[in-house]
Amino acid sequence: MNEIVNLRRARKRRARAEMERAAEASRAAHGRTKAARTREDARRALDDANLEGHRLDEPGNKP
């Protein structure tokens, strides 16, 4: 004979496994170290400053 299975526990176990898979995918997509975030923010600020420095006219002045 087969083992008796508590369906409530089986559903909870399956839900936990699904949530863990979703969390793993989220960590892979969004998880970055503080150093990586800081480096990205600094690079973005430098790029913005460089782009702003190449502006030909003042913002708000339309010809």
Note the pLDDT of residue 37: 85
Q: Give the distance from CA 59 to its chain's centroid.
A: 32
pLDDT in tens, 5-63: 899 999 999 999 999 999 999 988 888 888 988 999 999 999 999 998 888 876 666 65
Note the pLDDT of residue 19: 97
Q: Tokens for 12, please give them.
A: 């909870």
Note the pLDDT of residue 61: 66
- Residues with Cβ within 8 Å of residue 57, at least 6 apart in sequence: 63
The domain spans of the chain are: 7-53
pTM as predicted: 0.46
Half-sphere exposure of 36 (CA within 13 A, CB side): 4
Q: Tokens for 55, please give them.
A: 């502006």
Note the pLDDT of residue 62: 63
Q: How many residues does the chain have?
A: 63
